[in-house]
Amino acid sequence: MKTFNEAHPPAALNMVRDVPTLCPYCGVGCALHYGVDEAGVIQYARGRNGASNAGRLCVKGRYGFDYAGHPQRLTRPLIRRDSAYPRGPLSGFSRQNSSGPRKPGGIVDYDEVLPHFREASWEEALDRVAAGLGGIRDTHGPDALAGFGSAKGSNEEAYLFQKFIRAVLGTNNVDHCTRLCHASSVYALIEGIGSGAVTNVVRDIENAEVAVIAGCNPTANHPVAATFMKQAASAGTDLLAVNVRRPGIADYCRQYCQIKPGADVAFYNAVMQVIIAEGLHDRTFIDARTEGFEALQAAVAHYTPAVAEPLTGIPASEIIAFARRLGQARSAMFFWGMGISQHVFGTDNARCLIALALLTGNIGRPGTGLHPLRGQNNVQGASDAGLIPMYYPGYQSVADPEVQRRFEALWGVDLPNKPGLTTAEITHAALDGDIRGLYCMGENPFLSDPDMNRVREALASLDFLVVQDLFITETAEFADVILPASAFMEKRGTFTNTDRRVQIGRPVREPPGEARQDWHILRDLAQRLGHDWGYADESAVFDEFVETAPPYANLTYERLGEQGRWYPCPSADSEGERVLFSEVFPIGRARFVPAELGVAPDLPDDDYPLVLNTGRQLEHWHTGVMTRRSRALDAIAPEARVEVHPDDAARLGISEGQWTQIASRRGDVQVQAHLTRDVATGTLFLPMHFREAAANLLTSPELDPFGKIPEFKICAVRLVPLSPPSTQTPPAGVSHAAS
């Protein structure tokens, strides 16, 4: 099958125009130009001088754009044929316990799936969706419906999607992928300081004396941000990394602590114990700006370095050295990722990092602050826009009667006052028969959510499922109606990066065939269900969003221009705030919230003696819908590999490149082995992007009780060889492929 660019040869350079827009991948929010020819084919990407990237791009930003022109793009609405009921798997891949073939090639086989659908007009498809969702609402009540929105869509699309679910369908059962990445971080931040966004921007690391890099691998997941971290390290910033799996940034660190899985609370409590015991805490800051210090002091007192050593695997002397360097620093920043958040005790992990920043007075000044590195390009904006079940836009509680009345007045409807269900809870409720209809816009829960067999069963159990996307995804196999949507390169809208910088993404090509703008689809569905949304354009939607979300005050399309601005933006002529909370926190005094070491629900035993960790790799993104349809990215990394420590491999009789089986208490996958000392003995790492080795067939659906995030990082498994060992000798030394 030819790629889009092979089918359309490169144009002469004088036929190509530069269009300023943004990268569609991670939360760094890199500004770039796409070079587009007269046929709308993107010929290249090059960085432009944005506030977050200074002209830099990573491999995904530079080469991962051609998915938008892939031959599998949906161009007309599709309706499930009567012969494809009762609803169930349509391909061999999506059947029970399947994890795909023992070979690369990870996109949906249209020859296998497409015959089960027929093309339809937009009128028929939208009528079918309105009847399906409206019928469930009228028969079973609004709370029998739910919606999954997208962190890859714009702020305007996120705002309208949550408005559709709340104001049109009448339920707060709306969520998106923040529930799978940083929900626990946001919960802890709102609880501790009153704001769920970062307090300082990535590039201010150049002003930090120390930076803690916890549970994240920025060289793979936020590569451009990592370049500024490396640059700061070269200029004298001491980087202190803590992780279960060795990140590439460790090469630039003063100290790297490879802790045991699930030991974060024990480690950070021990660090705080040393800081307090040695008088390195900032008593002036604590007295003036915080509350709850005595409770924290009591909670960490028994986590001495000697006690923490066997719990964490880190020698007491290293814990002390870490604590002293951090405690003595005049300024320190705290970066963290999903190694902190994606746990059943992820909220407690984040509480510890927040407490460390408060304990050392490292919030509110240049070179200080809390920064959970946001994953998707607009996961910050989607959360800000209310695409979460317990908050309206601007993190205003749906359970607050005064807030509810304001939104009812603005939207002209009665609204529900009960917080809705989160992503995983929606899946559980579908299995119980309580959720009967689902609207899925730009999400692929079949592969992204834990315990794939349960998700499969939940999707099959629905009375009605509509999927709005670019391609027939694994989730769309279960749909009643599939609506062809617009890619990032085909839409105009605002996107908010991990730094809180709001920027405009601009279209560089038209959607193919009859594919439509996502917000137009939402508007037309609302119209069919009795709501007249008369927005003139995207900027009108943004203006209404700004009206509802106080943090976005003073922002307009005109003021954002080509460079964007940070929020909060105190005045119309301000560039926005880089550093937040220099004088006061949104809740007045920040709160210390003590945490105790928890126990993961899925621990190793004799049958499942290893711990599996899952995550991302440099060349791919989430469930691979975009990157596995990008010719260059798929060529660089066409298949999954499970990372195994050489000592474990020798004990199990596994060699480099050998086929293995990973089995958990929920399923098993087959995947080739890669031997590396980046993982500790007793642990494995499997990327989440490859459906033929689907990591979430293995993972546990257990949830954090606060952030309701699943446990993606600790999963008990066994590993066995499947074929005779090859004669190839595994490479010596340490592999740092992600660096």
Give the pLDDT confidence of 175-228 residue by residue, as tens digits.
Answer: 987 777 788 999 999 999 999 889 999 999 999 999 999 999 999 999 999 999
Question: Which residue bears the tokens 């020798």?
Answer: 650
Q: Which of 222, 256, 225, 227 is nearest to 239 (CA)?
A: 256
Other beta carbons within 10 angstroms of residue 320's beta carbon come to 18
Give the tokens for residue 104: 């690369």
Q: Output DSSP code: residue 217.
A: -
pLDDT at residue 729 greater than cutoff 50:
no
Give the tokens for residue 597: 């070491």
Grouping H, G, I as helix, E, B as strand and the rest as coil, residue 79 is strand
Give the per-residue pLDDT at 723. Answer: 77
Q: Which of 328, 352, 334 is nearest to 205 (CA)?
A: 334
Query: What number is the average pLDDT over the span 147-173?
Result: 97
- The answer to whether the CB of 499 falls within 8 A of the CB of 51 is yes
Q: What are phi and psi of 45, to 5 degrees?
A: -125, 140
Give the pLDDT confidence of 2-55 residue by residue, as tens digits.
Answer: 334 444 555 566 689 999 999 999 999 999 999 999 888 999 999 999 999 999
Question: Which residue bears the tokens 């709308």?
Answer: 40
Q: What are phi and psi of 471, to 5 degrees?
A: -135, 165
Query: What number is the average pLDDT over the span 313-334?
Result: 98
For the full predicted model, state whether its pTM sits above 0.85.
yes
Give the tokens for residue 151: 């962190």
Amino acid at 85: Y
Give the pLDDT confidence of 525-551 residue by residue, as tens digits.
Answer: 999 999 999 999 999 999 999 999 999
Other beta carbons within 10 angstroms of residue 656's beta carbon come to 19
Give the pLDDT confidence of 289-306 residue by residue, as tens digits.
Answer: 999 999 999 999 999 999
Give the per-residue pLDDT at 8. Answer: 53
Helix and strand numbers (H, E) in the chain are 25, 30
Q: What is the dihedral of CA 385, 389, 394, 399, to 10 degrees?
A: 150
Between CA 311 and CA 303 the distance in angstroms is 10
Give the pLDDT confidence of 396-429 residue by residue, as tens digits.
Answer: 999 999 999 999 999 999 999 999 999 989 999 9
Give the tokens for residue 685: 């790492």
